[in-house]
Amino acid sequence: MQVKLQERTTPMHAISLNGPSFDHLTRTEVPDPQPPGHAQALIRMHAASLNFIDLAVALGKYPGIDYPLIPVADGVGEVIAIGDGVSGFAIGDRVALHPKAIWFAGQGTAERAGVTRGVTLPGSLIEVATADAGSLVKIADHLSWEAAATTPIAATTAWNALVCADIGPGSTAVFLGTGGVSLLGLQLAKTRGARVIVTSSSDKKLEFARKLGADATINYSRSSDWDLQVLELTNGLGADLVLDTVGTDTFVRSLAATRYGGVIFTIGFVTGTNLQIDLMPIIVKALRVQGNNTGSAEDFGKAMKAIDAAQIAPVVAQTYSVNNVAEAYRAQSKGPLGKLAIRLDW
């Protein structure tokens, strides 16, 4: 049953990205949303968070972007209207909007993976968003709006990495860096009984990772052969999973650090995408190199259930007002510890 929206007395606000620069992020007014259609819901947005993809879009480094657009893939809010054909959601539910807006479940396809909020569709920096109910995931009660906003891409990606490598008790997982995916991966891996190794160039960040549950840490700024250290920590076997968030600078060492039959889950392109490598380690060690473009709403729902069951608190490095969006983007470009959130306090 469709619910009528209350009449607004003020214009609806959004942030518009008008070109490839942080300086092109401007506050704007947009038309009020239409009532939700079949299997749709309207969400009053409360918070958003930044990912590397948002930086790439804002700096013109992501292919196929048409400006202007409403940016940011990840966001959460409250259901305020429901169209016919929707089940499992009610007015007032706290939900996250999965960024892959039409990838509800099952294997990915070019079409399902290609439709992304904040990239090909309006993103989360808007007062009221329209979404297919199949892309909504109820958020755990213990999460604040800001903490919940950090989970869609990071939790889905980390969860799929762990599932891909069949991480469980006795497994070893290596996470490169201390960004949002790596830290949520650490937290989720510990709930599955795994041993976790984290790398960083910062002793302070590594200390934080240990407090979060990391069993071992490696500072690669003091010793660039972190792959050899992983082998030493695993009695020469290597890790079951290496989640490579970096790209060309780390990929060869990720291959070396992975055990026979293990998984290199590659998601990062911070240091580029073009690389010449020797295929022999992949062939001889029967390695699985798995790319990833987030995952489905169903995958995200499983990750959220794990977050709920273990009462995981995602690491929110800092929260910014919607009036300081450009500042949040600049902070994201410097590589925060964990995630940056944006409070949609219009």
Condensed to tens digits (0 to 9), the pLDDT of residues 219-276 reads 999 988 999 999 999 999 999 999 999 989 899 999 999 999 999 999 987 777 888 8
Q: Which long-range contacts (CB under 8 A, 24 or more apart) does 145-148 make?
A: 145/46, 145/47, 145/76, 145/77, 145/94, 145/343, 146/47, 146/49, 146/316, 146/319, 146/341, 146/343, 147/313, 147/314, 147/316, 147/341, 148/47, 148/76, 148/94, 148/96, 148/314
* Percentage above 90 pLDDT, the chain: 91
Domains and CATH numbers, the chain: 12-151+314-343 (3.90.180.10), 155-291 (3.40.50.720)
Q: Using an 8 Å Cβ cutoff, are 145 and 76 in contact?
A: yes
306 pLDDT higher than 80: yes
Q: How far is CA 340 from CA 52, 55, 119, 292, 325, in A?
A: 11, 12, 19, 22, 11
Q: How far is CA 72 from CA 3, 113, 219, 338, 343, in A?
A: 27, 16, 31, 17, 13
Tokens of residue 17, six digits: 């990205």
The confidence band for 10, taking pLDDT boundaries of 50, 70 and 90, is confident
Q: Using an 8 Å Cβ cutoff, are 136 and 96 in contact?
A: yes
pLDDT in tens, 286-305: 999 999 999 999 999 999 99
What pTM did the predictor assign? 0.94
d(CA 341, CA 337): 12
Backbone angles phi, psi at 230, to 5 degrees: -60, -45
